[in-house]
Structure 1
Amino acid sequence: MELELAALASVAASTVVSGMATAGWEGVQRAMGELWRRVHPERADTVVAELGEARAEVLVARRNGDEQAERELVGEWQARLRRLLVANPEMVTELQRLIEELRPTAREEEPRAGSVTLTANASGHSRITMSGRDINITKG
């Protein structure tokens, strides 16, 4: 169960951090505030304020091309969400709903954190080149 919670927290954190850098930022803030209010109402305002600080960090990281800073923010929110789920496993469904709600928001700009799955089939003398991000090909 712990691995499933960690995986869910990872997807949620990536979705939240990606959404922080979009025009739909207010939806991210609202959804996360509501999530915290359900289980820790006394902490909700603090979490919302911290989201604002994290958003500023994401915007600076993206402007500077600092992918490491963005990955660190995803890791930070992943740990927080995992702890929330471990203490409140009944929130799994709520977090899954939050992810589905925020995914369109997070896709407004190029996602920076997450995973990429590539599949290809080749036959004959074909050549396949696949990349999850930047690629440079030179023939020599």
Structure 2
Amino acid sequence: MDPELAVLAGTAGTTLIGLLTTETWQQARNGFCSLWRRAQPERLEAISAELDTTRSDLLAAQANGDPDARDELGAEWQGRIRRLLVAHPEETEALRELIGELDPSASLARSVNQQATASGDSRIYQAGSNQTFVQR
């Protein structure tokens, strides 16, 4: 599997679980259901019910002080989303947009491939983000 899809599925699962107990819950539910409606319409009813069950489970876990439930439920949804993307990679960009709408602060970094060749006494400095140099 493409590592970028795995990261996207992980971010999507975390974002979804994080929104289940917020005011944005219904918007998140509708957005994820729309992904399944396009890609696997025969699974829409089941996914819709699973989202509702997951929300109920998370609310109950929070009320009972179960700190592990959030991570467990997130992993379940990460797997569902990953399988959806593997079967329907055309939904990748739609999922990326949905996450951006639901949680603009979510990290949706794309993979970067850097190559360099040094010769002689040259040095190469590469970074996927900010880079700081300190003169000595």
Question: TM over 0.5: same fold?
Answer: yes
Q: Does 1:51 align with 2:51?
A: yes
- Provide the C-alpha distance between the structure 2 equivalents of 1:101 and 1:71, rounded to a whole number of angstroms: 22
Q: Residue in 2 aligned with 1:138?
A: none
Give 1 or 2 for the bigger CA radius of gyration. 2
Q: Residue in 1 aligned with 2:73?
A: 73
Q: Which amino acid aligns with 2:16?
A: V
TM-score by length of structure 1 reads 0.70
CA shift for structure 1 position 89: 1.0
Matched-pair identity in %: 46
- Provide the C-alpha distance between the structure 2 equivalents of 1:89 and 1:42, rounded to a whole number of angstroms: 18
- Provide the C-alpha distance between the structure 2 equivalents of 1:92 and 1:48, rounded to a whole number of angstroms: 20
Q: Does 1:103 align with 2:103?
A: yes
- Provide the C-alpha distance between the structure 2 equivalents of 1:62 and 1:15, rounded to a whole number of angstroms: 17
> Which residues of 2 match residues 1-140 of structure 1 at below 5 A?
2-103=2-103
CA shift for structure 1 position 18: 0.8
- Provide the C-alpha distance between the structure 1 equivalents of 2:84 and 2:24, rounded to a whole number of angstroms: 24
- Provide the C-alpha distance between the structure 1 equivalents of 2:103 and 2:67, rounded to a whole number of angstroms: 20
Q: Which amino acid aligns with 1:7?
A: V
SS of residue in 2 equivalent to 1:42: helix
Q: Which amino acid aligns with 1:37?
A: R
CA shift for structure 1 position 82: 0.5
Q: Which moved more, 1:95-104 or 1:82-91?
A: 95-104
Q: Residue in 1 aligned with 2:125?
A: none
Q: Which amino acid aligns with 2:64?
A: N
Q: Which amino acid aligns with 1:84?
A: L
TM-score by length of structure 2 reads 0.72
Q: Which amino acid aligns with 2:89?
A: P
Gap regions ≥5 residues in structure 2: 107-136
Q: State the 4+ residue runs in structure 1 displaced beyond 6 angstroms.
A: none
SS of residue in 2 equivalent to 1:43: helix
CA shift for structure 1 position 67: 2.1
CA shift for structure 1 position 21: 0.7
Q: Which amino acid aligns with 1:85?
A: L
Gap regions ≥5 residues in structure 1: 107-140
- Provide the C-alpha distance between the structure 1 equivalents of 2:64 and 2:95, rounded to a whole number of angstroms: 30
CA RMSD of aligned residues (A): 1.5
Q: Residue in 2 aligned with 1:133?
A: none
